[in-house]
Structure formats: structure tokens, C-alpha cells
Structure 1
Amino acid sequence: MQVPPVFIDIAIEDQAQELRAYLKSLGAEISEERSPKGIEDDLHKIIGVCDTCFKEGNEAEVEMVLNDIVSIMVLVPTERAENIILAFCEKLTKGQGQKLGQVCLKALWLLYQSLDERSPMRYPVYYHLLQIAKQTDQIKAIFQNVDHLKQQFSHCPLSNEELQKLYRLLHEVLLKSNQSEQAAKVMIELLGTYTDKTASHAREDAIRCITTAIADPNTFLLDPLLSLKPVHILKGQLIHDLLNIFVSENLTAYLTFYKEHKEFVTNQGLDHDQNMRKMRLLSFMQLAESNPEISFDVIAHELQIKKEEVEPFIIEVLKTKLVSARMDQLAKKVFVSSTMHRTFGRAQWQQLRDLLFSWKTNLSVVQEGMKTVTAAQIEILQQQS
């Protein structure tokens, strides 16, 4: 979000007095006179009634008032401005509707950018920005990705508690904005803030992480979740069993689980039909790992679909780019050239090692061959000369 800086070439006390007069003209219960206690008290009183201008619904006027407040606020030393900043944040996060909410977001973003990178107030301001972004569906205006967010607070590191609170809210906002992939990454970051000692306190976060990953139609590799300490703590519980099915089991295993624990799956907010779709894709990936050639009959049987549904299913698989394959409709077969592994453990590392070793050997053979060819050409040139 690009917000132009605000520069007003008058003393902040005079600026505050003009704001007082303007708000009073709109019906605000505020005196036009300056506070004898100084600019901080002036700001408190102005912020307390600044929403008077919201009633008019004029975006330009609201933006002018809010930007004026920010331009005064940033000139107050941080140690004296903390309560003022918090009051301003609270005022702007109260639902103002879609249009004025976006104006409030711009004003708060201006404040955030104006604060020193080492200021501890950047955290509460950003947290309130997320709250407004949730109301206005404007998360893209203030959030790019997790790495960029970390960079934002690199000069003023956050505590684990602050990070956890921030990640939880960010996860909610991203989900609401249908950014499930980013939401999943944020949730993994959240679980990564727990240690061996605190992992047992992350149960709800871990469950939310698992259900979000399962429900996300674009997340297919869930193996990394098993290594997270808070997820490991859930071992032996139904949610962990369900995760394991999506990590390494097939459709039959899921259907058996669902038959025995239908109410549990529903209570997690998971949709059975969507789970079936994902498990069919994952089951096909599993088939493709060890079978470079798969008949339509095998696919129909393993995935429990009708034979006439095989071709549309394969097309859907190819669209995900999880598997590279060629379909032969006449032979009623699928020829697999490559597939993404659902898990990447010791066996996969060994397979990769063997592949790289084979490449190295082949390159050595090619290199020796090129040396022989080069030597022969040099010899021919010498004979000709």
C-alpha cells in the first residue's frame, strides 16, 4: 500500500487547535481551546472524538482528519506517545464500514511506516492493521509473505507470545481472504514458536494447523507437519491418525477412518467430499511412485470411481502438476514420467543419492568420451599440417 507522507507547515499545537475547531463544528463535544497539559492531552481529546467526522461519510474529509492526527502524533517522542498511539489504533479498529475502513487502514499504515524500525509500537500498530484488514478484506495491502513480515520486525524482535498472537490473527485473516496457502505457512510458523517445554500448550494451534492443511484444496504434501513438536504431542489422538492417513495412506484407509469416526471428521469442520477428492489425488500419486504404467481398470478400482470417470480424473491430476504423465485412451493406460513424493524420508534420500551418483558416473563417461574425441581431432590436424 502506497500512502503519501503528510507534511503541514504549521506548529503542531496550532494544527491540533484547528482539528479541535473542525471537530467541534461537526458536533463533537470538545473545546476549541488548547489543553494546558500539552500536546499529548490535546491528542487524547481529539482522538476521543475524531469519529465524529465518520458520521458524514465523506472519505476525503475523514482521510484529512486522520492524516492530520498522524502527522502530529509522529512528532511526539515515542515514550510519551504510547498511550496516544494505542488509543488511535483502538478508535480506528471499531467497525467503520468497508469504505471508511479502507481510509482507516491507510491512515494506520501511514502511522506504521512513520514509526522508527526499532520502535516497540510497531507491533501493536501492525496488529490493529490486521484487524482492520480482516474487516475490509485488504490483507494484500499490508502483508506479502512470512519472510517479509519477519524482516519488518528484524530491528525490534518480538517475544514468542507476541509472535503467537500475531500469527494466530494473521492466520484468521488469510483464511477469511481465501489465501489458504499463505495461511498454512503462517500456521507452521506459529507452531515453530513452541519449544519442547511449551509444545503441550499448543494443542489447539496444532489441531487448527492440521485441519487447515487437510481442508486446503491446494495443499498435498503434509509430511512436514509430523516433525512439528506440537503436532507430535498429538500422537495417539484421532486428529493425528487422520493426518497420517493424508500423509501416507490411501483412499481405503480414509474411508475406513471416516466410517468409524464420521462425527469426529464433521466436528473438525472438514468436508467429506473434499477429503475424498484430495485422498483420490494422493492415492494416485502413491500409485504413480512405483508404477510407471497404470491401467484405467486399476485406477478405477483403487480410487473407487467409475471407468468413465477415469479420464476426467487424470486430467484433473495433470492440472495440479503433482504428476507428469501421458494418457493413452486407446490402450486405456496412463504412462507416468515423474511424480511428486508424498513423503520424503530415508528411502527418498537414498533414491536421490543413487540418481545423483548415476548422473555423476554418466557425466564422467561423457567427459572421457569428449577427451578421446578431442585427442583424435588434434591428431588428425597435426597429421594434416
Structure 2
Amino acid sequence: MQVPPVFIDMTLEDQAQELRVYLKGLGAEISEEKSAKGIEDDLHKIIGVCDACFKEGQEADVEMVLNDIVSIMVLIPLERSENIILAFCEKLWLLFQSLDNQSPMRYPVYFHLIQIAKITDSVRLVYQDIEHLKQQFANCPPSSDQLQKLYRLLHEVLLKSNQSEQAALVMIELLGTYTDKNASQAREDAIRCIVTALADPNTLLLDPLLSLKPVMFLEGERIHDLLNIFVSENLSAYLKFYKEHKEFVTTQGLNHEQNMQKMRLLSFMQLAESNPEISFEVIENELQMKPEEVESFIIEVLKTKLVRARMDQAAKKVFVSSTMHRTFGRAQWQQLRDLLHSWRGNLSSVQEGMRSITAAQLELLNQS
């Protein structure tokens, strides 16, 4: 079996020629000579026959060939490489669709599709969600190392395309690939996961992170303390932490003003859990806001639909009907259980009432 070329200190043209030689050796219909039209034409021809490496090459060989193509492609100015990128995307997608569901080659092709999606900012065309991703490899699951590599790339690409919520979900999946034996090795991934979740304005239910093994290994560190504040404490606790650790918050890439806004929302949700009636004055004090900021803040909260409430400007009060819980522990499960039992009791009463009405109507019909 031939060994794929390794390109070190070579021109793009020489790298392309080495690829030509390797692919021709696998039976591809391509010349070994460089194209007279330049590197773009070379790459077009190479992409056209790159599937030859799938016929005889091992998974590592396939991945190396695809890596080599990408490494050349990214060095060509974007204004000259657009058609090449599109051709490579199309080739990879057709390859992926045509591969058997049990083929181990599905992983390297999908991985490189995500790489190209990063270059072209088109990840939405390839990646839908975690469940769809798992379906692609249901019959040929990648190794743990491969999954971790893919999830890290996906996280980076999703963040780049401003899909922070999806990126956070991918990072949680990444941490889930670690076991008790190697969770301590996942430190950087765990920190990245926490930071991504804290920075995402749409990620508000944060306590599930605390149960992840790699996150547990961070207990006692500042990042873990900060996570706990966002999970269950209020704005005052965050401001105290920020005052003592400003540089730490900044170096994590977190924005203090955005943190403030998120903590105000979380603190308001916590207030709403136990107070069906909240005065504007309490909101001002608890959330450290100016009187003129309260109404606009409440309007923004109601837009999120995390809290269902009615604002009475004249009485300067908010009347809460329901709210999303910041944490969902034993107390919340008990509350849900009690609610379901209550519903069941009410349904039984309704059912019994309907039976009585039906019996009375039948009796009237019989009498008539």
C-alpha cells in the first residue's frame, strides 16, 4: 500500500503534484504533471478524483489526503478559491451521501465538511443539531478521540457563525464523552464549556453543568465559583465576585455588562419563583437599577416568555403568574408531582361530573 505524501516546506504547486502522483498510484485518471494553468486548475482536477483514496486507502490515509487538499486550499486567496471550495463541498457531500451507513470513512468526510463550512461560514448547510449528527454515525460510531476532535471543531465553527446556543450544547456533549477515569484531563474543555454557557444570553438553565464529571473536577476554582453564582445566587453575589476578580472575568473573554444583564434576569426569575407580587421598589433594590429603568427591564423580561406576568404601572407592581425555574432539583420535581396529582384529581372530578350529566340526560330521554 502506498503511503500518502507529507508536505513539508514545499510550494503549493509541488504539494499538488505530490497529491497527483499519489492519487494516480491509486488508479485515479489524472496526470502526474502540474497543470500549466496554475494551482487552481491543479486543485480542481485533484478534487475531481480524490474519491480514489476511498477505494484502497485506510481511514488515516483518507483523512491525510483530505487534510492536504484543505491545507492547500486555505492558502489560496479567497477571491481565487471560491469555485474550488464549492467544488470540494459538493464532492464531499456526494461522497458522504453515497457511503454505506457502516463505512468508517463517513467520519473523515463529515469532519472535513465541517472544516469547509468553517471557511465558507455555511455550517447550517451541514449541521442541524446533536441528534441529527448522532444519526449520521448510528451504525459506525467514531472513537471517543474522534468524537472529541469533531465536537471541538463544531464548537469553534458554531461560535464563529454566532450560534452560541448550539455551540454550548455541543460542548456539553463533548464533556459527556469523558469518563471517571479521564475526566481530570478535560480541564480546558470544561472551562470552555462553562464560559460558552455563561456568555450565551439564551442559556439560563445552568445547573446541569454542575453534574458533568469534568466540571466537578474544577470545584474550588474561580470558574466553578462563578458558575455557581449564575446557577443559584443573585446579582449582589456576582458584583462581589467581579469586584474581587475583575481581571479573571476579563481574561475568560466574558463581558461584564452582558454578565450583569444576565444576572439581573436570573435574579428576577428567582424573585418571581417565591413572590407572586413584586413592587418596583424591590426590583430597583435587588437588581440595582434606576427607577426609570424598571419598566423597560420588565418589558424585556416578558418578551423572553421566561416569566409570565402583568405589569401595573399605576400601582408600580408586577403580578407573576408563572416563571421558569433557574434550577430543577428535588423541590421542583416534588412541585411537578403535586401539580400532576392535582390535575389528575381535577380530571377525575370532571369525568365524574360528565357521567352524572350523561346519566341525567339518559333518564330524561327514557321518561319522554
Q: Which bracket does the TM-score occupy, shorter chain normalised?
A: 0.7 to 0.9
Structure-1 residue corresponding to 2:5: none
Q: Name 2:69's counterpart in structure 1.
A: 91
Whole-angstrom CA distance in 1 between matches of 2:115 and 2:39: 18
- 1:234 aligned counterpart, secondary structure: coil
Distance 1:38 1:178 in 2: 38
1:332 aligns with 2:316: yes
Pair 1:168–1:378, CA change in 2 (3 A): same
1:110: how far off? 2.6
Q: Is residue 2:341 matched to residue 1:357?
A: yes
Aligned residue number for residue 52 of structure 2:
73
Give the alignment of 1:262-281 within 5 angstroms. Answer: 262-281=246-265
Instruction: Determine helix, strand or coil for the equivalent of 2:309.
Output: strand
Residue 83 (structure 1) shift: 2.9
Give the one of 200, 206, 210 matched to 1:222.
Answer: 206
Gaps of 5+ in 1: 1-25
Write out per-residue CA displacement over residues 280-317 of structure 1, whole angstroms, 9 at most, x where no aligned residue.
00000001111111111111111111111111101111
Aligned partner (choices 227, 236, 257) of residue 243 of structure 1: 227
The alpha-carbon deviation at position 45 of structure 1 amounts to 7.4
Is 2:25 the partner of 1:40? yes
Distance of 2:200 and 2:92 partners within structure 1: 32
Over the residues paired in the alignment, what is the CA RMSD in angstroms? 3.0
C-alpha distance 85-113 of structure 1, shift in aligned 2 (>3 A): farther
SS in 1 for 2:320: strand
Amino acid at match of 1:267: T
State percent identity of aligned pairs: 63
Q: Which amino acid aligns with 1:188?
A: I
CA distance change for structure 1 residues 372 and 140 in 2, over 3 Å: closer, same or farther? same
Out of 303, 323, 337, the residue aligned to residue 307 of structure 2 is 323
Alpha carbons of structure 1 residues 28 and 80: separation in structure 2 relative to 1, 3 Å: closer
Moved more, 46-55 or 281-290: 46-55
Q: What does residue 115 of structure 2 align with?
A: 131
Structure 1 range deviating more: 96-105 or 232-241: 96-105
Deviates more, 1:42-51 or 1:338-347: 42-51
CA shift, 1:160, in A, is 0.8
In our comparison, the structure showing a higher alpha carbon Rg is: 1
Secondary structure of 1:310 counterpart = helix
2:274 matched to 1:290?
Answer: yes
Q: Which amino acid aligns with 2:337?
A: R
Give the alignment's TM-score, normalised by structure 2: 0.86
Aligned residue number for residue 150 of structure 1: 134
Contact 2:17 2:33 in 1 (8 A): no
Contact 1:40/1:81 (8 A) holds in 2:
no
Work out the CA distance in 2 between the residues paired with 1:107 and 1:42: 18
Deviation, 1:112, is 2.7
CA spacing shift, 1:374–1:150, aligned 2, 3 Å: same
Match of 2:124, SS? helix
Structure-to-structure mapping, 1:183-202, within 5 angstroms: 183-202=167-186
CA contact (8 A) 1:296 1:332 kept: yes
Aligned AA for 1:69?
V
Is 2:23–2:52's contact at 8 Å kept on the other side of the alignment?
no
Preserved CA contact (<8 Å) 1:247 1:343 = yes
Q: Which moved more, 1:220-229 or 1:38-47?
A: 38-47
| Cα pair distance change 1:29/1:327, threshold 3 Å | closer
CA distance in 2, matches of 1:375, 1:331: 50
2:156 matched to 1:172?
yes
Alpha-carbon deviation of 1:62?
Answer: 6.5
Question: How much does 1:89 deviate?
Answer: 3.9
Q: Deviations over 1:7-42 (max 9, x none)?
A: xxxxxxxxxxxxxxxxxxx999969xx98x994356
CA contact (8 A) 1:221 1:342 kept: yes
Consecutive unaligned residues of structure 2, counting only runs of 5 or more, are 1-12
Greater CA drift, 288-297 or 274-283: 288-297
Cα 1:358–1:27 change in 2 (3 A) is: closer
**3-state secondary structure, aligned to 1:77:** helix
Seen in structure 2, the aligned counterparts of structure 1 residues 185 and 367 have a Cα distance that, compared at 3 Å, is: same
- Aligned residue-pair number: 349
SS of 1:331's equivalent? coil
Does the CA contact (< 8 Å) of 1:324 and 1:337 recur in 2?
yes
- Offset of residue 220 of structure 1: 0.9
- In 2, Cα distance between the equivalents of 1:29 and 1:234? 46
User: How far 1:155 moved relative to its partner?
Assistant: 1.7
Q: Does 1:258 align with 2:242?
A: yes
Offset at 1:87? 1.7
